[in-house]
Structure 1
């Protein structure tokens, strides 16, 4: 097993905010994602017509609504972190899975960073320069997220550069020895969870 569900759980809890963590009776990732997506309002559920666009549209439309409702706007950065999660996981899948994504990152001049994320003995995962993120991710996908969260594109790229290392790190708990198939199965499982809640 990889640690992907742990990182998703942490991000989801941050997005929910401390005040809502106490009333989560159903534990586990499913329960927490259910809380995040359930609380984000049912008004956008009709837009969950499947596919990445539908999933992102629903998640982000609802996240945007939650952001406006928060009095101090303090949930903004945390909300963006969970908002870019489906985008990152879908990007990894588009590369043919974890190994393809690692190769793509290394070819983009990020070999040292990738090594620091994969190696379980290196604590400080290195960040990614924003221009590298811009060259890796489809501009239209990022634009869609930006519009739906009503956040500047720069903030979306910044959120991706924060979350991507955590995702890669969580997918490789045994470093290079981690089963890539297991990692890809876990990615699919989380994507199914997200889309499952949105289709309810």
Structure 2
């Protein structure tokens, strides 16, 4: 599994996603960690509850439902997730706090939408890490 994730993340290191030498932030690992441990409750459901509790309920519901995804700003995500968690995510990515928020604001709505294709949060959480790696690979290659 680690080799699969490594291959995906190396493939993602393109313009706008990588740094010097072609190695960019491990967004697969960062988002996987956020979905698994990003809130006190853990898991996708816990993360969504945290975002809803921080005033992003309308946006979150749009990401889970079958309609169009409402946008969220990096500042809104930073506020909802908290400065400590955002600083940790930015540190893992090797980017500024603002850049981490911006990247997550672009990725999370689409990832959550893809992880909830039937308009419901899956009972098993966010699914396998391999599934998430594939979703992120497709998402970031479109950018």
For this structure pair, what is the TM-score category when the shorter chain's length is used for normalisation? 0.5 to 0.7
* 1:117 Cα deviation after fit: 0.8
- TM-score relative to the length of structure 2: 0.65
- Provide the secondary structure at the position in 1 that maps to 2:86: helix
* 1:116 Cα deviation after fit: 1.4
The answer to whether 1:190 aligns with 2:143 is no
- The unaligned stretches of length 5 or more in structure 2 are 12-17, 134-143
Q: Partners of 2:88 and 2:2 in 1: how far apart?
A: 26
- TM-score relative to the length of structure 1: 0.49
Relative contact order (C-alpha < 8 Å, sep 6+): which is higher?
1
Contact kept? 2:51, 2:60, Cα under 8 Å? yes
Tell me which structure has the larger Cα radius of gyration. Answer: 1
Contact kept? 2:5, 2:28, Cα under 8 Å? no
Q: Partners of 1:144 and 1:172 in 2: how far apart?
A: 26
Change (3 A) 1:96 1:157: same
Q: Partners of 1:155 and 1:147 in 2: how far apart?
A: 11
CA RMSD after TM alignment: 3.4
Q: Partners of 2:44 and 2:90 in 1: how far apart?
A: 25
- Provide the secondary structure at the position in 1 that maps to 2:19: helix
Higher percent of residues as helix: 1
The answer to whether 1:35 aligns with 2:11 is no
